[in-house]
Structure 1
Amino acid sequence: MALAFSKMHGLGNDFVILDCREHPLALTIEDIRRLADRHRGVGFDQLLSIETSHDPAHAFAYGIWNRDGSPSGQCGNGVRCVAAWLAREGALDAAEVSLMSPSGPVRVACLADGRVRVNMGEPDFSPATIPLAVDGEADTYRTRIDDGTITFAAVSMGNPHAVIAVDGIAQAHVTQIGARLSSAAIFPQGCNVGFVERRSRTSLALRVWERGVGETLACGTGACAAMAVQRKHGLVDDTVDVQLPGGSLEIHWQGPGHPLWMTGPASFSFEGTWHE
């Protein structure tokens, strides 16, 4: 099998992008895992398939798969790369268009400075939507991990997120806590786990353990989730710079009743063909 692909990244969160506009994705879970292998395959955090939209209200659709082959509902860095890929192909015929993600429509705009702006929708704190196995909505929740108790906030950005406030991002136990909370029973579908340090009312530092992937250099929906939680708690202004290991994202959210906007780069790495 010869499979043409594009390799892209958003702040180091890397993707293999497949053009599936004429032919649907025909990879098995094992195929995806082999392709994701950084030693024997191409290597990526997520696989993105660009597809024809069956609804004229949306220019295109896209699918998302984690490196372990599991599907994902949304990927903030990924949608920016999808938009940039389509723009390079000359396939976007408007300044701002709607794309259909696995979790619903998102509006994207490719800016003159090379960044991509995305309407990520309104953050949803409802436990049923996240989903989160608790009796009712609260600002924070607690659950036992091994011999300790973890306090976290939770929100859906089209995929589930736990957000843990920390005093220092460098000392955060991302691997130990992230891996366990990501698969804890309180999150029936698993979750992404963000560790956020508030540096000012306009600046956050963040590291994220992504379900099905592990810690990544950047997580777009994780940056949105962290800002949304901090904004809900009145700790930050409506426009925040979120600094991730791979770089920074600008997140803007006025609050309930308004969509959240994410702005950041999308970069091309190389084109290739995978022979299996």
Structure 2
Amino acid sequence: MELHFTKMHGAGNDFIVIDGIHQDLSNMSRAQWRYLADRQFGIGADQILLIEKPTRPDAEFKYRIINHDGSEVEQCGNGSRCFVRFVREKNLTDKKQISVEVAHTLLVLSEKDHGLVEVNMGAPVLDLPLIPFHPSGLESRVTADTINYLLPTKEGSFWVTPVSMGNPHAVQIVDALDKAPVLLTGPLIEHHPSFPARVNAGFMQIIDRNTIHLRVFERGSGETLSCGTGACAAVVAGILQGVLDSPVSVHTKGGELLIEWQYANDGKNASVMMTGPAETVFEGKISVPDL
């Protein structure tokens, strides 16, 4: 099968973006998705974004998010910005504000000036069963307006704040991000039994009340240069712990994101707003083998 694609990135978090409206991909296997994402034998990407027709009347598009390992996830902040640039550049819409269906929710995305895209990520999910997170047997402590939990692993125990931004995150504060054992402990946190759907492990260093540095070990993809939902989750966790104030500049290896969450004014139901770049790298076509 010959497949047309676009390679894009949002702050270094890279994607293969595919028009599934005008190409039939209904028979793609998990092995074929892994082949496309493979950096040695395929195109190479952290994740694949598959654009489809919506299934709900209030959405103009739908997109699915497929990890480097072929698994599918619910949400991707950096990918949502790339989606906007893709449908605009491909003339699939002439609107600058777009409603898109992702998993079981609706996102409102807006193209801004200078290549930036703003995404209304909705309110964070803090109800533990919905994250999902099962804290039974874990030590806990209250910090300002949230509860942190101590995750035991074979490499030590870590205080984390569980947050979902459409996908689950476990955020921890570290003193020095460049010395944090992200690659060692990230997989242990990702597969911790307290997170039955696995979890993205966030490592946050606080620079000041409006600035953080962040690394994220993403479930199914490993550490990425940037993670949009991870940036949102980290800011939510920091604000709930009383150590950050909105807006927050999030510095990742791949670039900078601006996260706003008006918790002080509107409480936990306030939407998280994310603004950041989205760029096209190249376009091409590839023959996908039967796998």
Q: TM-score, normalised by structure 2?
A: 0.92
Question: Which stretch has the larger CA shift, 152-161 or 93-102?
Answer: 93-102
Cα contact 1:48–1:64 (8 A) shared by 2: yes
Contact 2:206 2:213 (8 Å CA) reproduced? yes
Taking the aligned partners of 1:128 and 1:267, their CA distance within structure 2 comes to 36
Classify 1:147/1:48 alpha carbon distance in 2 versus 1 (closer, same or farther; 3 Å): closer
1:209 to 196, 217, 220: 217
Identity across aligned pairs (percent)?
39
2:91 corresponds to: 90
1:169 aligns with 2:170: no
Residue 253 of structure 1 is matched in structure 2 by 261
Root-mean-square deviation (CA, aligned residues, Å) is: 1.4
Q: Which position in structure 2 is the counterpart of 1:274? A: 286
Equivalences for residues 17-166 of structure 1 within 5 A: 17-22=17-22, 23-135=24-136, 139-146=147-154, 148-166=156-174
Moved more, 163-172 or 53-62: 53-62
Secondary structure in 1 matching 2:5: strand
Tell me the secondary structure at the aligned position of residue 183 of structure 2: helix
- How many corresponding residue pairs? 276
Deviations 1:5-55, CA, capped at 9 Å, x for gaps: 000001111110110113344310100111111111110100110011122
Q: What CA distance in whole angstroms lies between the structure 2 residues aligned with 1:177 and 1:185?
A: 14
The residue aligned with 2:277 is 265
1:68-103 C-alpha deviation (Å, 9 max, x unpaired): 011010000001001110111222343322100114
Query: Structure 1 stretches (4+) deviating beyond 6 angstroms?
Result: none
Alpha-carbon distance between aligned partners in 2 of 1:82 and 1:192, rounded to the nearest angstrom: 21
**Shift of residue 116 of structure 1?**
0.5
SS across alignment from 1:140: strand
Paired residues of 1:34 and 1:41 also in contact (CA < 8 A): yes
Of 128-137 and 232-241, the range deviating more from structure 2: 128-137
Deviation (angstroms), 1:147: 5.0
Is the contact between residue 207 and residue 244 of structure 1 (CA under 8 Å) also seen in structure 2?
A: yes
**What are the ranges of 5 or more consecutive residues in structure 1 without an aligned counterpart?**
none
Measure the CA separation in 1 of the matches of 2:171 and 2:18: 31
How many angstroms apart in 1 are the aligned matches of 2:174 and 2:231?
A: 15
For structure 2, the 5+ residue unaligned runs are none
Structure 1 position 183, deviation (Å): 0.6
Contact 1:116 1:263 in 2 (8 A): yes
Query: CA offset at residue 165 of structure 1?
Result: 0.4
Which residue of structure 2 lines up, in the alignment, with residue 242 of structure 1?
Answer: 250
Measured in 2, the distance between the counterparts of 1:167 and 1:102 equals: 35
- Paired AA for residue 200 in structure 1: D
Distance in 2 (CA, whole Å) between partners of 1:25 and 1:245 is 35
Secondary structure of 1:128's aligned partner? helix
One-letter identity of the residue aligned with 1:132: F
Select between 126-135 and 77-86 the one with higher mean Cα deviation.
Answer: 126-135
